[in-house]
């Protein structure tokens, strides 16, 4: 096996050993790259147009086969129109531009989510208005008639001038309050007339409480005169059938009127001691009837000396 001789070494070219020799300038390289990118974009555009044409043909062929399978013949003109409509996005949903009509339509479509709350609010508002009408407006509108009716009832019951005069004053006060728009004062006048009517309707005897373990009398030291004493018999109202009654009594100490089943009736010291002696004798007050309040009258007729002043707490 022979070994051939090596080719002679070619002579070196001038400047071959210098680094960077023969490289193109940087500007030429950048320009070439820009040309390459431009050519690539054009190539993609051409390919896209070719692909679109191919897609259209494939789509038309697919549609033709689908309708043929159903026994229907569709012309190329109709298929071309369908493809053009597809390219123009004719059957693609486009949201409408914002407007009042669009907003109202959206609210209508979403009524299932917010409708029940709105309905509940409307029902609540309606109930509130009805309650206001029944509890505030209607009673306020009825006040003038109720004042007149209550005054007429009081006058019909009264058999003494003082009761008539008091009823007239209350009616005038109530009507003045209505003219001034003071509903609270008008209602207070109406309540005072109702209390007056109850007082006039009442028919009862006034008797000293005469039961074991209960007081029959008390005394007070008035704040204005510490050296004096005020004496009171503890009394109650007994109705025609012997039943205890709660009656309105005005306290001389507070000026307030309360409905009570017992009160202190002010008497002088001699009367107080006389009743006390009667009770100390055998534990029973023989003369326990001190007065009578007849229907139609405000002031009872008393059988013993008294100013008629009273207290409600002791």
Q: What is the tens place of the pLDDT at every residue in 184-231?
A: 999 999 999 998 998 899 999 999 998 888 999 999 998 788 889 999
Which pLDDT tens digit goes with each residue over 206-219? 999 988 889 999 99
- Kindly tell me if the per-residue pLDDT of 172 is higher than 80: yes
The distance in angstroms from the start CA to the end CA of the chain is 153
* Lowest-pLDDT choice from 26-35, 160-169, 254-263: 26-35
Triad 184, 298, 186: Cα angle to 5°: 10
Q: Is the pTM of this model over 0.75?
A: no
Distance CA 150, CA 190 (A): 7
**107 token code pair:** 């609210």
The three-state (H, E, C) secondary structure of 157-203, written as one string:
HCCCHHHHHHHHHHHHHHHHHHHCCCHHHHHHHHHHHHHHHHHHHCC
Give the list of residues 6+ apart from residue 178 with CB closer than 8 angstroms, or none.
143, 144, 147, 186
Q: How far apart are CA 66 and CA 81, in angstroms?
A: 17
Q: Contact, 254 vs 223, CB < 8 A?
A: no
């Amino acid at each position: 096996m022979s070994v051939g001789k090596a080719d002679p070494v070619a002579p070196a070219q001038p400047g071959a050993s210098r680094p960077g020799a023969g490289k193109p300038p940087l500007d030429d390289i950048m320009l070439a790259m820009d040309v390459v990118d431009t050519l690539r974009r054009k190539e993609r555009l051409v390919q896209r147009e070719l692909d679109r044409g191919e897609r259209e043909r494939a789509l038309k062929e697919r549609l033709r086969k689908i309708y043929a399978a159903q026994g229907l013949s569709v012309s190329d003109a109709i298929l071309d129109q369908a493809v053009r409509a597809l390219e123009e996005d004719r059957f693609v949903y486009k949201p409408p531009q914002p407007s009042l009509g669009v907003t109202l339509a959206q609210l209508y479509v979403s009524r299932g989510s917010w409708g029940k709350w709105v309905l509940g609010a409307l029902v609540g508002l309606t109930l509130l208005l009805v309650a206001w009408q029944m509890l505030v407006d209607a009673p306020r509108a009825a006040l003038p008639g109720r004042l007149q009716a209550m005054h007429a009832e009081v006058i019909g019951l009264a058999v003494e001038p003082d009761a008539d005069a008091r009823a007239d004053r209350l009616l005038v006060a109530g009507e003045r309050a209505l003219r001034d728009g003071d509903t609270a004062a008008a209602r207070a006048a109406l309540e005072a007339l109702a209390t007056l009517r109850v007082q006039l309707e009442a028919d009862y005897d006034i008797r000293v409480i005469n039961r074991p373990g209960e007081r029959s009398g008390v005394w007070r030291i008035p704040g204005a005169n510490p050296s004096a004493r005020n004496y009171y018999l503890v009394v109650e109202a007994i109705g025609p059938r012997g039943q205890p009654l709660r009656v309105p009594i005005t306290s001389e100490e507070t000026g307030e009127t309360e409905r009570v089943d017992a009160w202190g009736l002010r008497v002088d010291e001699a009367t107080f001691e006389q009743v006390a002696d009667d009770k100390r004798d055998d534990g029973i007050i023989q003369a326990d009837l001190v007065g009578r309040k007849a229907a139609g009258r405000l002031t009872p007729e008393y059988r013993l000396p008294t100013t008629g002043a009273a207290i409600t707490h002791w």
